[in-house]
Amino acid sequence: MKVILRLIAQRIGVSLITLLIVSAVVFFIANLLPGDAAQEMLGQSATPEAVAELREAYGLNDPPPVRYAKWLGGLLTGDAGVSLANDRPVDALIGERLSKSLLLAGFTAVLAVPFAMVLGIVSAMYSGSRIDKAVNIFTLSMVAVPEFLLATILVLIFAVELNWLPSLSYIPRDATAYDYFRAFAMPVVTLCIVLSAQMARLTRAAVVEQLSQPYVEMALLKGATLSRAVLRHALPNAVGPIVNAIALSLSYLLGGVVIVEVIFNYPGVASLMVDAVTNRDMPLLQACAMLFCVGYLILVLIADISAIVANPKLRKGG
Amino acid sequence: MRSQLSALPVSGKIGLSLVVFWVVLAIIGPFITPYSASELVAYDVFESFSGKYWLGTDYLGRDVLSRLLDGARFTIFIPLAAAGLACATGTFIALFAAVSHRRTDETISRFMDALISIPSKIFALVMIAAFGSSVPILLTITAISYMPGSFRLARSLAVNVANMDFVTVARTRGESRAYLAVKEILPNIVHPMLADFGLRFVFVVLLLSSLSFLGLGVQPPQADLGSLVRENISGLAEGAPAVIIPAIAIATITIAVNLLIDSLRGGATYSAGSK
Amino acid sequence: MTNHVEVNQLRVDVGPLESPKTIVHDVSFTLKRGEVLALIGESGSGKTTIALSLLGYARPGCRLSSGAVNVGNDNMLALNEKQLADLRGRKVAYVAQSAAAAFNPSRRIMDQVIESALMHGVLNREQAKVKAVDLFKQLALPEPDTIGARYPHEVSGGQLQRLMAAMALICEPELVIFDEPTTALDVTTQVEVLKAFKAAVKAYNTTAVYVSHDLAVVAQMADRILVLQHGKVMENNVTSQILNHAEHTYTRQLLSAVQDSDAFQDNPKHDTVLEVANIEAGYGKILRDGSVEIPVLSDISLKVRQGQTVGIIGESGSGKSTFARVIAGLLPAAKGYMLLNGKELKPAIDERSKAECQHIQMVFQNADTALNPAHKVGDILGRPLTFFHGLTGRARAERVAELLELVKLPADLAHRKCGALSGGQKQRINLARALAAEPTVILCDEVTSALDTVVAAAILDLLEELQQKLNIAIVFISHDISTVKSLCDEVVVLYKGKKVEHASGKAFRAGPYHPYTELLVSSVPTLDPLWLDTKPDGHEQTAVRIAQNDALCRFRNRCSVSIQGQCDSLPPPEHKLPEGKRILCHKDMAL
């Protein structure tokens, strides 16, 4: 147990260091390059005095490391600065949108995970069979399809041809469950298809890896049936790799939501970030970017920890 | 070579033919457009398939086929160059790390791990906000964002090879680090790195198309396939081919590469996703 | 009495149905109830494939194409998967080569041992547990009542192998297949395991098929021996007949590879080319007194003379491979010094000159990993020629051809990559590459242990011949005491990083030995079928961890002659015996 805790603490430490490097990279790309935020805000016609005043007010005259430290300190205390585009605090802007993005990701995960598990395990059990080959071709294709193709096909079918669903997600103020369903159906399905294809492939690989181990052959030679050998012997050992696969696949969502939110006009963090790029709203952009990176790191951390916890070598007998 | 080709499963042959088809099209495309790609040739916008305009017309009444033929080169060649750059630098740095002292290796690896933790789309968005968008910048962005992935794979392969006895033998001979990296290790990791190059290509095609779809990629008057989807998105309600055809075109490229790589590996373990 | 097992015209194919490759050719044999049959042959002889067919099992890619395999009244080839599952584990059981891999790492040992009894409904859980503990006792496992509660990684390899036998015997099967069950074990552990197997098989009157490449092991276990080569039966006879009156040439080759060659000649004394003095080496941080955190070797000294062979012997964990790495400069020694031709040799390879590197060449155990698969043979041999001697073009190609001839390989091999070569050929190229540098000393690390017996014997002959011809010094590192005994001019025995015995070859062969050496020597099976029965029951070594820097005798807990009050309180003295033999022990060796 002690060993496990130490390893986990180590992983968390590494993640924090990574996060620090990431924040530096994000900050320096966004700030050290051409373009003066003050000039930008006031427009070309602004007087030099006004620009200088604004620079002073925003601390833009400080040397970059100082500005980085201030920014980082602000992030840690929950103050991510003020949006340049609409003069509101960045935290408030993100706060409004975050729950909506999480809801979208949550729905997707709940649907995709069980589906992908079954698909992955079945094709591993019958690896080399027709089912396996069909699943392989399907998942191989789906992971390579751009989200906007899936989304446009869904819109064509369900909104244009059948007219069942609106082509844009809209949740009215007093939304019913049905409204939610209508709003979420297409974005969730789009994300689900790519996500579960990815996850099914990783799951299959994890299970196949275990099935090639001598202990599975041994179980068969003890008289176990194939399903017993898979369920009782291989799967318990594949749990770590499978959770790992789930966590890593979920990180796909971080990129996937960007397109889906924009295409369905869904008011989440990703579409906020795309707006920030268009407006060159750096404080907002930096904060959004850090949010996504934190999300990614948390998922990777979960993946790593699950691998540690599931390692039978760290288990103790009586 | 010939026997290798005939040994490919059907999916691999389909993949290979599509890859060849697209590369050829990307080269000769601009020369065989039936109409000028930028000229307004039809009075009707969002026309459907017809003998005159095989793939219909777009939101301004331009010929979709011509625009497709003209735009394919961006969707093929930027990713080819970016994936090549990413793989080559990734492999080079990985070889350097693998034969360096542990400290150096760890520092490089830690930094690369940090870069990997920035999802590529997010990285691209930050870069574009800072630098604007142009073909050289898109090339740089995509190359940088997929380099750490190549590095990670190449390093794990290189470290495995570096622990093999034949490398130890060369070390006991007193060979230089450069010799170990280039002559002993590199030849043994080239094959998997070529497959990785294919995967990176798929990643970049998808990323670039997504950026163009968001209006942040290739900028008008130039247009890649992703831009075509974006500019015609208003035709979706009419079910215009101008939206759906370029999107399908992108999918055929990426799926073809995935199928090809998968059948070359003879296994279904790895694949390119749109991470 | 009718036959219990009948295999008739068995053929096994691999590859696609249209163009199959046959790996077992019409093999037939019979076994009576309670008989033990050994399947012996080298890698690729089809022995495991045949053994698995007795369970109606073919590894993925293989097909049991034709013939009949009858066990009792069942034809294993005619049954469906469900019927086979019912027989496997209950009527026919299997003991795999690597118990470490064949146990499920995430489940407790007891659950796995009794699984087949529960699956087949032979016993209920309580009965099965009682039965398992009985078997643990019978197989001489330590702590039989509690060992089942552990996980596989918590017990030793030798114990796991016996636990796997318990797993096989839990349903009291009629037939047990042992698939190279002791190959992965140290020789001293092997004796215990073999004794346990033999007793268990006898107690249950079980018919057994014992798969092995080691004729001496098989001689202990089997009533009959079936000699296989390339999937064909070479010879099938009772054990004594095979051992004493082998008919087939191949069998005789196998036999002669096992027997000690007594034609040893002591070479006259030569100049010292490499001297190693008071070496300490290991891993981890360097401590303040200059020693290492995790020492692997302590206080090792020896001299290597021109044209002579020094044998370093020990089991896994003895530090013998570390020693080679220290000499080669891959693991710089923390203490002590080395002299090459009388001049100081720096500990780390980075500090050594090209000429010093040239004088010390290393030959690795596994030629598969020691040769770069991306290079052609000509380049593998050519590189040291260019690197050390500046040879290029024609001169280089000619020298490569000479080297190939020296190791008795055809010259046209130079243009091929080594992937397709056989194990023996690869090992010869491995050797030729070391010779290409024209070294003074060659470090041979277990160079024959990955090879089949007959091939290994040929490599040893070649090594001796080359040494005579080229007058090089060899440091021969091995776990195989009989090889070292017959090959070396000087022998060093390592135990847990300490030199416990050091003698000239002649003095070593004459004995007496350090108690550990004694155990090693007496643990090597001979071709005498009664050998195993003469072995006393050893006491299981309890898993007491001895600190490596402990000055006391590190062997004391396993030693059968340890003296209380001395061995556990005082460091062992070094006894100097006639002919310069030195032994580190409290026991008075002169007696």
Contact C103 A237 (CB under 8 A): no
The confidence score (pLDDT) of residue C550 equals 65
Could you tell me if C357 and C349 are in contact, meaning their C-beta atoms sit under 8 angstroms apart? yes
Q: Is the pLDDT of residue C545 over 50?
A: no
Average pLDDT, chain B: 87
Least confident of A285-294, C53-62, C107-116, C511-520: C511-520
Q: Which among C330, C374, C375 has the least Cβ separation from residue B171?
A: C330
ipTM: 0.86
3-state helix, strand, coil in chain A (%, to 5): 80, 0, 20
Calculate the CA dihedral of residues C83, C89, C90, C91 and round it to 10 degrees: 80
The confidence score (pLDDT) of residue A40 equals 64
Portion of chain B with pLDDT greater than 70, in percent: 95
What is the count of structural domains for chain C?
Answer: 2
Q: For tokens 């007959």, name the residue.
A: C454
Portion of chain C with pLDDT greater than 90, in percent: 41
- Same domain for C327 and C184: no
Contact A208 B269 (CB under 8 A): yes
Count of pairs with CB atoms under 8 A, one residue in A, one in C: 84
The encoded tokens of residue A183 equal: 């709003």
Confidence of residue A71 (pLDDT cuts 50, 70, 90): confident
Q: How many CB atoms lie within 10 A of CB C148?
A: 23
Q: Chain B residues with CB-CB distance to C under 8 A?
A: 164-166, 168-175, 184, 187-188
Question: If you average pLDDT over each of B74-88, C192-206, C275-289, which comes out highest?
Answer: B74-88
pTM equals 0.85
What is the count of structural domains for chain A?
Answer: 1
d(CA C241, CA C236): 9
Contact C361 B175 (CB under 8 A): no
Contact C387 B165 (CB under 8 A): no
Q: Is residue C546 part of a domain?
A: yes
Question: If you average pLDDT over each of A223-237, B24-38, C116-130, which comes out highest?
Answer: C116-130
B250 contact residues in A (CB cutoff 8 A)? 146, 149
Confidence of residue A317 (pLDDT cuts 50, 70, 90): low
Least confident of C172-176, C474-478, C498-502: C498-502
Confidence of residue A42 (pLDDT cuts 50, 70, 90): low
Could you tell me if C129 and C110 are in contact, meaning their C-beta atoms sit under 8 angstroms apart? yes
d(CA C206, CA C208): 6
Q: Is residue C37 part of a domain?
A: yes
A318 contact residues in C (CB cutoff 8 A)? 146, 149-150
Q: Which of C258, C284, C305 is the last residue of a domain?
A: C258
B269/C517: higher pLDDT: C517
Reported as a single tens digit per residue, the pLDDT across C397-454 is: 999 999 999 999 999 999 998 887 888 899 999 999 999 999 999 999 988 888 888 8
Q: Is the pLDDT of residue C290 over 80?
A: no
**Considering only alpha carbons, which residue of chain C is nearest residue B176?**
C350
Residues 6+ apart with CB under 8 A from C156: C189, C543
Determine the average pLDDT of the residues in B230-244: 85
The confidence score (pLDDT) of residue C326 equals 92
C-alpha distances in Å from residue A209, one per residue of A229, A314, C19, C62, C252: 14, 20, 29, 20, 42
Contact B122 A132 (CB under 8 A): no
B227 contact residues in A (CB cutoff 8 A)? none
C-alpha distances in Å from residue A133, one per residue of A137, B11, B202, C59, C201: 6, 10, 21, 21, 46
Smallest Cα distance from C118 to chain A, Å: 11
Average pLDDT, chain A: 85
Supply angle C-alpha C179, C180, C184, rounded to 5. 135
Confidence of residue C543 (pLDDT cuts 50, 70, 90): very low
Reported as a single tens digit per residue, the pLDDT across C130-161 is: 999 999 988 888 889 999 999 998 888 888 98
Q: Is residue A221 part of a domain?
A: yes
d(CA A137, CA A134): 5
Q: For tokens 């200059």, name the residue.
A: C290
Confidence of residue C475 (pLDDT cuts 50, 70, 90): very high
The encoded tokens of residue B83 equal: 């994936």
Contact A255 B122 (CB under 8 A): yes
Q: Is residue C383 part of a domain?
A: no
Contact B250 A146 (CB under 8 A): yes
Confidence of residue B107 (pLDDT cuts 50, 70, 90): very high
Q: Is residue A90 part of a domain?
A: no
Could you tell me if C346 and C511 are in contact, meaning their C-beta atoms sit under 8 angstroms apart? no
Smallest Cα distance from C285 to chain B, Å: 14
Confidence of residue A36 (pLDDT cuts 50, 70, 90): low
Residue by residue, DSSP assigns A179-221 as: HHHHHHHHHHHHHHHHHHHHHHHHHHHHHHHHHTSHHHHHHHH
Confidence of residue C548 (pLDDT cuts 50, 70, 90): very low
> Can you give the residue range of the structural domain that contains A264?
96-280
- Same domain for C227 and C128: yes
Smallest Cα distance from B2 to chain A, Å: 24
Confidence of residue C238 (pLDDT cuts 50, 70, 90): very high
Portion of chain A with pLDDT greater than 70, in percent: 93
**Considering only alpha carbons, which residue of chain C is nearest residue A309?**
C106
The confidence score (pLDDT) of residue C131 equals 93
Determine the average pLDDT of the residues in C117-128: 92
The confidence score (pLDDT) of residue C111 equals 93
The confidence score (pLDDT) of residue A35 equals 53
Contact A224 C154 (CB under 8 A): no
Confidence of residue C263 (pLDDT cuts 50, 70, 90): very low
Q: Does A236 touch chain C (CB under 8 A)?
A: yes
> Which residues 162-181 in chain A show a CB within 8 A of chain B?
167
Q: Does A129 touch chain C (CB under 8 A)?
A: no
Contact B125 A147 (CB under 8 A): no
- Same domain for C212 and C324: no
**Considering only alpha carbons, which residue of chain B is nearest residue C350?**
B174
The dotted CATH code for B8-249 is: 1.10.3720.10
Portion of chain C with pLDDT greater than 70, in percent: 95
C579/C226: higher pLDDT: C226
Chain B neighbors (3+ CB pairs < 8 Å)? A, C
> Can you give the residue range of the structural domain that contains C129?
5-258
Q: Is the pLDDT of residue C173 over 80?
A: yes
Confidence of residue B2 (pLDDT cuts 50, 70, 90): low
> Which residues 412-441 in chain C show a CB within 8 A of chain B?
433, 437
C-alpha distances in Å from residue B49, one per residue of A121, A310, B61, B73, B241: 43, 56, 13, 23, 7
A236 contact residues in C (CB cutoff 8 A)? 104, 106-107
Which of C53, C104, C108 to probe by mutation at the A interface, max A CB count within 10 Å? C104
Which of A126, A148, A302 to probe by mutation at the B interface, max B CB count within 10 Å? A148
Reported as a single tens digit per residue, the pLDDT across B191-217 is: 889 989 999 999 999 999 999 999 998
Q: Which amino acid is at B40?
A: L
A286 contact residues in B (CB cutoff 8 A)? 126
Reported as a single tens digit per residue, the pLDDT across B54-99 is: 888 888 888 889 999 998 999 999 999 999 999 999 999 999 999 9
Q: Is the pLDDT of residue C127 over 90?
A: yes
Q: Is the pLDDT of residue C331 over 80?
A: yes
Contact B255 A255 (CB under 8 A): no
Reported as a single tens digit per residue, the pLDDT across C382-391 is: 999 999 999 9
Q: Does A131 touch chain B (CB under 8 A)?
A: no
- Same domain for C98 and C145: yes
The confidence score (pLDDT) of residue B274 equals 33
Q: For tokens 């009444």, name the residue.
A: B61
Q: Is the pLDDT of residue C549 over 70?
A: no
> Which residues 385-414 in chain C show a CB within 8 A of chain B?
387-388
Smallest Cα distance from B148 to chain A, Å: 13
Count of pairs with CB atoms under 8 A, one residue in A, one in B: 182
The confidence score (pLDDT) of residue C259 equals 67
Could you tell me if C260 and C485 are in contact, meaning their C-beta atoms sit under 8 angstroms apart? yes
- Same domain for C184 and C40: yes
Q: Is residue A300 part of a domain?
A: no
Confidence of residue A180 (pLDDT cuts 50, 70, 90): confident
Confidence of residue C546 (pLDDT cuts 50, 70, 90): very low
Chain A neighbors (3+ CB pairs < 8 Å)? B, C
Question: If you average pLDDT over each of B261-265, B267-271, C14-18, C37-41, which comes out highest?
Answer: C37-41
The confidence score (pLDDT) of residue C538 equals 59
Q: Tell me the three-class secondary structure of C439-508, residue by residue.
A: CCEEEEECCCCCCCHHHHHHHHHHHHHHHHHHCCEEEEEECCHHHHHHHCCEEEEEECCEEEEEEEHHHH
Q: Does A314 touch chain C (CB under 8 A)?
A: no
A255 contact residues in B (CB cutoff 8 A)? 119-122, 274-275
The confidence score (pLDDT) of residue C307 equals 87
Q: Is the pLDDT of residue A159 over 80?
A: yes
C36/B45: higher pLDDT: C36
Confidence of residue A33 (pLDDT cuts 50, 70, 90): low
Determine the average pLDDT of the residues in C477-486: 87
Q: Which among A220, A226, A237 has the least Cβ separation from residue C106?
A: A237
d(CA B130, CA C157): 60
B204/C564: higher pLDDT: B204
Residue ranges of domains in chain B: 8-249
B165 contact residues in C (CB cutoff 8 A)? 364-366, 369-370
Q: Does A217 touch chain C (CB under 8 A)?
A: yes
Q: Is the pLDDT of residue C379 over 60?
A: yes
Contact C149 A214 (CB under 8 A): no
Contact C90 A213 (CB under 8 A): no
Q: Which among C360, C361, C366 has the least Cβ separation from residue B165?
A: C366
Reported as a single tens digit per residue, the pLDDT across A246-284 is: 888 888 888 888 889 988 888 889 989 999 998 888 889
Q: Which among B117, B233, B243 has the least Cβ separation from residue A18?
A: B117
A204 contact residues in B (CB cutoff 8 A)? 268
Contact B271 A30 (CB under 8 A): no
B172 contact residues in C (CB cutoff 8 A)? 328-330, 349, 357, 360-362
Contact B174 C330 (CB under 8 A): no
The confidence score (pLDDT) of residue A263 equals 87
Task: Give the CATH number, domain containing residue A234.
Answer: 1.10.3720.10
The confidence score (pLDDT) of residue B262 equals 87
Confidence of residue C590 (pLDDT cuts 50, 70, 90): low
Chain C neighbors (3+ CB pairs < 8 Å)? A, B
Residues 6+ apart with CB under 8 A from B139: B78, B81, B82, B85
Could you tell me if C94 and C177 are in contact, meaning their C-beta atoms sit under 8 angstroms apart? yes
Determine the average pLDDT of the residues in B116-126: 90
The confidence score (pLDDT) of residue C264 equals 47
A312 contact residues in C (CB cutoff 8 A)? 105-106, 151, 153
Could you tell me if C242 and C225 are in contact, meaning their C-beta atoms sit under 8 angstroms apart? yes
